[in-house]
């Protein structure tokens, strides 16, 4: 019988997202969007801490050394994140995001394999009209918009091993797409579906790519993470005791652990009573090294 994911940090995030593993720190990092916090857990010694942020974070990226790219709701910041240093984070403003579009905020994102960071924005107004966009940030070029059509809720952003294929989704549309990606010019080719809408229970949320090139996708509302075959079929399903896994990442010293962050957003009291670990960080030992090292972003000095 397959082992079940265990709750490793009962962080009680109001909307957990953006989980990743930092090999340098030997730690998991994630964000609480509505709680305006950055979280860190170091499984080797059990250290867990969080930092308050001035605005809601959509996602994060690893920079050089101790630096972290914080993609807050309406601006990008650089911060030095030292798990053992006391006190609040010191943030350095890098650039604003869509200052002329009130009601928009950042959402999912991930470093590409060439020193850039790609993330999406979404319209928070009722109905989530598809006016969101996708951007690439780099120290060399700043913020550049990717030539993709309007997006409702951008998610599942990750990259093939060579960094030349971008995967993403609009959670409202339900399918995971792929397109050729040029990191130097911030251009993408014609999108095509790689996982069809309705291919698994729930809606597609955050994703990661494993060492064998497979997409692992957190299924919002589906209480599971799914590994998809190249043709879009299901190869493996990992059930969780909470309904809303929001993002997943490989970690641990051997990159053989799947970490899943979750969210209680929108759950009524009865649903929360049935899933009290919602908003916590879960982990599952996979038994073999399936992860890839998280790519790093080149940030201004």
Locus of tokens 């940090």: 9
- Rounded CA-CA distance 162/194 in Å is 17
Q: Which two tokens stand for residue 38?
A: 């950055």
Do the annotations mark residue 105 as ligand-binding?
A: yes
Rounded to 5 degrees, what are φ and ψ at 99? -60, -20
Beta strand pairing status for 117-123 and 134-138? Answer: antiparallel
Do the annotations mark residue 80 as ligand-binding?
A: no
Do the annotations mark residue 125 as ligand-binding?
A: no
Going by C-alpha positions, the residue among 206, 207, 200, 251 that lies closest to residue 222 is 200
Cα atoms in the 13 Å half-sphere on the side-chain side of 65:
10
* H helix and E strand count, the chain: 1, 25
Whether 205 is a known active-site residue: answer: yes
Active-site residue, from 205, 210, 256, 268:
205
- Rounded CA-CA distance 54/294 in Å is 26
Do the annotations mark residue 205 as ligand-binding?
A: yes
Do the annotations mark residue 123 as ligand-binding?
A: no
CB 153 within 8 A of CB 138: no
Mark the binding-site residues for substrate, compressed into ranges.
Answer: 105, 107
Q: Which positions are catalytic?
A: 205
Mark the binding-site residues, compressed into ranges.
Answer: 17, 105, 107, 155, 205
């Amino acid at each position: 019988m397959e082992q079940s994911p265990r709750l490793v940090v009962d962080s009680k995030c109001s909307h957990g997202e953006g989980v990743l593993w930092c090999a340098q720190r030997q730690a998991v990092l994630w964000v609480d969007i509505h709680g305006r916090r950055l979280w860190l857990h170091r499984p080797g010694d059990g250290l867990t801490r969080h930092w308050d942020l001035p605005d809601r974070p959509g996602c994060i990226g690893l920079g050089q050394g101790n630096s972290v790219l914080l993609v807050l709701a309406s601006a990008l910041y650089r911060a030095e994140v030292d798990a053992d240093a006391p006190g609040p984070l010191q943030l350095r403003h890098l650039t604003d995001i869509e200052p002329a579009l009130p009601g928009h905020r950042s959402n999912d994102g991930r470093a590409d394999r060439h020193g850039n960071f790609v993330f999406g924005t979404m319209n928070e107004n009722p109905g989530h009209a598809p006016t969101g966009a996708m951007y690439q940030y780099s120290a060399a070029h700043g913020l550049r918009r990717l030539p993709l059509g309007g997006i409702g809720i951008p998610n599942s952003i990750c990259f093939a091993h060579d960094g030349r294929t971008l995967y993403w989704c609009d959670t409202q549309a339900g399918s995971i797409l792929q397109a050729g990606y040029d990191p130097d010019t911030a251009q993408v080719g014609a999108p095509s579906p790689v996982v069809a809408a309705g291919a698994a229970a729930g809606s597609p949320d955050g994703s990661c790519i494993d060492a064998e090139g497979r997409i692992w996708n957190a299924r919002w509302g589906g209480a599971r993470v799914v590994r998809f075959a190249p043709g879009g079929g299901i190869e493996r399903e990992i059930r969780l005791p909470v309904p809303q896994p929001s993002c997943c990442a490989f970690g641990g010293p051997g990159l053989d652990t799947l970490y899943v962050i979750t969210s209680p957003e929108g759950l009524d009291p009865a649903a929360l009573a049935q899933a009290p670990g919602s908003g916590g960080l879960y982990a599952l030992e996979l038994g073999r090294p399936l992860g890839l090292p998280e790519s790093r972003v080149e940030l201004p000095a």
